[in-house]
Amino acid sequence: MTQTRRAAIIGGNRIPFARQNGAYARASDQDMLTATLEGLVARYGLAGERMGEVVAGAVLKHSRDFNLTRETVLGSSLSPATPAYDVQQACGTGLEAAILVANKIALGQVESGIAGGVDTASDAPIAVSEGLRETLLKLNRAKTPQERAKAALGLRPGHLLPAIPQNVEPRTGLSMGEHMAQTAERWGITREAMDELAVASHQNLARAYDEGFFDDLMTSYMGLSKDANLRPDSSLEKLAKLKPVFGDREHGTMTAGNSTPLTDGASLVLLGSDEWAAEHSLPVLAHLVDAETAAVDYVHGDEGLLMAPAYALPRVLERNNMRLQDFDFLEIHEAFAATVLSTLKAWEDEEFCRERLGLDQPIGAIDRSRLNVNGSSLAAGHPFAATGGRIVASLAKMLHAKGKGSRGLISICAAGGQGVMAILEAA
Amino acid sequence: MGDTYSQIVNSGLGKQVAGTLGLPRPSRLRRYTPGGTLIDGPVLVGGHGDAPLAARVRTLLGERGVAVAEAPAADAPSEETLSAVVADLSQVQSPEDLESLRALVGPALKRLGPSSRVVIIGAAPEQATGAAQRAARRALKGITRSIGKEMRAGGTANLVLVADGAIDNADAAVEFLLSGRSAYVSGQVVRVGAGHPSPAADPARPLAGKVAVVTGAARGIGAAIAEVLSRDGATVVCVDIPAAGDALAGVANKVGGTALQADVTAADAGSRILEHCRSRHGGLDIVVHNAGITRDKLLANTDADRWATVVDVNLGSILRMNETLLSDEGIREGGHMVLVSSIAGIAGNRGQANYAASKAGVIGLVDALAADEGVCARGITVNAVAPGFIETEMTGKIPLATREMGRRVNSLAQGGLPVDVAETIAWLSQDANAGVTGNVIRVCGQSLLGA
């Protein structure tokens, strides 16, 4: 094998994100991912093309969707000879999928690929209860009428209640919001700071739409041509009226306004080698420089569930001989406003950087004008596996406009105490 | 979108009832299929005097494998069914010479089969050398339009006026008018002038190697244009507003082209389109300005916003985009531009003053561009098509009575299909058609409106 090369980010596509039970209430993961792929294929003229691979995933996934991405490819205009596989790393799914494809391109194993993810909080998989499931399996194993009768008698009325997927950490029983509230309290993040970040997110996203920024990043779907969650007229006054929904319900800081709502949507990124892009007369917006995924012990240790990106950063900075302040754009996924603010505060904190990250110096503060400049999840919404693709495509476009050599950082926290990070550089 | 009336009067019982009551019975029109024959001969070819174009047409038909019939002697009339009559009247000098047309075409009309064609060829009246010659040349228009109204069973009649010295340039026009591509074109005049036509290497793919842009390509007529241009060999860039993105993607993927989401009224629309064509497809050969909207209201109730929006989307945007698309870096030499006008721009329409303004303006724009020195020097043709009643999602929403009226008041007694408009546009985009510029071709089945 020869030396590695940097994978090129050529472009992307997403459908507008809808609020749960909104415009996409009746759309499945496969419907949304197919529409997103078709939009990407059309934008880049890939109809009939055999791609190296398509990699995507969903966090909330029906068992019937075991081969979701391959089924999506078969329902698309791509060549059916395009292989595909599913990945899942909670909210890190989309970005991790892009890293996987980029790595295969870097190694020369594929010349092109499409990566991303989809999620629906509306068309959620509802499972049968554990008791019913066990009874049905017993019935299936039973061979004689007597055995079958015995198995059937094991059924209890309570078994008929369905198991609805919950946004809860299995090992703590706490929702992500409750975990976040603990972390926010530890870092002393104020309600005002959270609301300010939320307002900025809405205003930035609204401005980006007005500027036509998404014209070549998005394809309308089911009557939506903008993110349904976007509130261009959002203000501190309006957000101040909302009641806390996580942590202390009286004096807490986290509201529906500074937390991302449950959302439906999908996104995909087109990657390739520089040669493949040139052969297809396609632009190279940026290259994927490096990536790092970290995990923290939020179960037994005393680290916050969504703090893993704080740990990923020093590793990836050291490897690339960079400082946080060197980045022209910072894309920190707004799971909650408090996630972004806690992470930034931790990086500024000398004790945290020394004790937890093993650094001599704190990582330091950032220029906030470089943060999420075209809005992020608080405004756009956050269909779990779709957030990575949204950010990669948008950041690549921003870097390309900024100029060759400019760099951007992507940070996405994920359930299970994980965090995925990537560095892009403008081509 | 279905034409229920046509289905009923063409069914067994319906046919009888319609015949008894004298109701119009629309025929199923012969339409182009790739690889099919140009026309199922024989074609009667004749004319007046030397009839130099008749000779060319015989050669053309020979190349396409179509049988040619000669005019039968007056004392031995033939009963053989004809598929078309081509009459070259380019040499008429005075009104008496028109008798040649009557003698040739008149008896032949009774021998024409379904979806047959009458193509009259004349010389340009404005280039006549005297009053008698000009009058005779001008008379052909009236004759052709009358024949169009006498044609039965889906037949059409059209006139080709050839300018001095352009005798070599008329082949593509004659071929189009004989073919199924012109199914819904009748009573029209195609003016052929100077230019340097180059016949297609592969007649089945006359647009092979060309890059074409279609605005408003997400649905209806625009989607049909994209499909036909692609079928004829072009790489198609499909443009529509971001809100139509999902439908646009469907069209682009179907035709194997690319989708470009852009609002044609944006200041940078022209440069974005051109940049896309150059960077992704290596250049630009054909532009079809199809994007258009309606905001219907009686003029008395039309506010400034309804007025301005329609005029800007349908006309202003084309002027702005053309500054880039017709610049030296824009459409390549010998390229083609086709604008979509409307019968409303010719005849006017109640409740559509804004729309009619924009669509009539489009015709003025074609006049100006076809006469533009820079455009002519670079051999770029600029033409318009003016659709009549076309069966689309949009016309499907017209109230039933009005819709039936719109469908029937034409010589073919039926609405056209989006593909009919697309076929005419694809023909106007051929290099073989370089002699045709500044034309407005109505695709209206010879509608009575504005005639």
CB atoms B253 and A282 under 8 Å: no
What number is the average pLDDT over the span A192-217? 96
Nearest Cα of chain B lies from the Cα of A126 at a distance, in angstroms, of 29
In a domain, A66, yes or no: no
- pLDDT tens digits along A171-183: 888 888 899 999 9
Nearest Cα of chain B lies from the Cα of A239 at a distance, in angstroms, of 30
Tell me, what CATH number does A306's domain have? 3.40.47.10
- pLDDT tens digits along B23-67: 667 888 999 998 888 898 799 999 998 999 999 999 999 998 999
The pLDDT score that the predictor gives to residue A2 is 61
In a domain, A65, yes or no: no
pLDDT interval class at B1 (50, 70, 90): very low
ipTM of the complex: 0.87
Residue with the larger pLDDT of the pair A217 and B197: A217
Residue A160 pLDDT exceeds 90: no
- CATH for B211-443, options being 3.30.930.10, 3.40.50.2300, 3.20.20.70, 3.40.50.720: 3.40.50.720
Residue with the larger pLDDT of the pair B79 and B173: B173
Residue B224 pLDDT exceeds 60: yes
Q: Which of A41, A281, A283 sits opposite B253 (nearest CB)?
A: A41
Residue B17 pLDDT exceeds 80: no
Residue B264 pLDDT exceeds 50: yes
pLDDT interval class at B100 (50, 70, 90): very high
pLDDT interval class at B146 (50, 70, 90): very high
How do the domains of chain B map onto residue ranges? 1-28, 31-192, 211-443
The residue segments making up the domain with residue A312 are: 176-212+289-426
Comparing A24-33, A149-158, B161-170, B188-197, the range with the smallest average pLDDT is A149-158
pLDDT interval class at A61 (50, 70, 90): confident
What CATH superfamily classification does B31-192 receive?
Answer: NAD(P)-binding Rossmann-like Domain (3.40.50.720)
The pLDDT score that the predictor gives to residue B18 is 65
Residue A422 pLDDT exceeds 50: yes
- pLDDT tens digits along B366-419: 999 999 999 999 999 999 999 999 998 878 887 888 888 888 888 888 999 999
Q: What is the 3-state secondary structure (H, E, C) of chain A?
A: CCCCCCCEEEEEEECCCEECCCCCCCCCHHHHHHHHHHHHHHHHCCCCCCCCEEEEECCCCCHHHCCHHHHHHHCCCCCCCCCEEECCECECHHHHHHHHHHHHHHCCCCCEEEEEEEECCCCCCCECCHHHHHHHHHHHHCCCHHHHHHHHHCCCHHHHCCECCCCECCCCCCEHHHHHHHHHHHCCCCHHHHHHHHHHHHHHHHHHHHCCCCCCCECCECCECCCCCCCCCCCHHHHHCCCECCCCCCCCCCECCCECCCEEEEEEEEEECHHHHHHCCCCCCEEEEEEEEEECCCCCCCCCCCCHHHHHHHHHHHHCCCCHHHCCEEEECCCEHHHHHHHHHHHHCHHHHHHCCCCCCCCCCCCHHHECCCCCHHHHCCCHHHHHHHHHHHHHHHHHHHCCCCEEEEEEEECCCEEEEEEEEEC
Put simply, whether B253 touches A (Cβ < 8 Å) is yes
Put simply, whether B22 touches A (Cβ < 8 Å) is no
Q: Do domains B31-192 and B211-443 have the same CATH topology?
A: yes
In a domain, A169, yes or no: no
In a domain, A328, yes or no: yes
- pLDDT tens digits along B104-124: 999 999 999 999 999 999 999
Best of B253, B258, B275, B278 to disrupt the A interface by mutation (most A CBs within 10 Å)?
B253
Residue A242 pLDDT exceeds 80: yes
Residue B429 pLDDT exceeds 90: yes
Name every chain B residue with its beta carbon within 8 A of the beta carbon of A281: 279-282
The pLDDT score that the predictor gives to residue B448 is 84
- What integer best gives the mean pLDDT of chain B? 91
In a domain, A111, yes or no: no
Q: How many domains does chain A have?
A: 1
- Indicate which residues of A carry an active-site annotation: 91, 382, 413
In a domain, A218, yes or no: no
Comparing A216-220, B194-198, B341-345, the range with the smallest average pLDDT is B194-198
Name every chain A residue with its beta carbon within 8 A of the beta carbon of B250: 38, 42
The pLDDT score that the predictor gives to residue B2 is 60
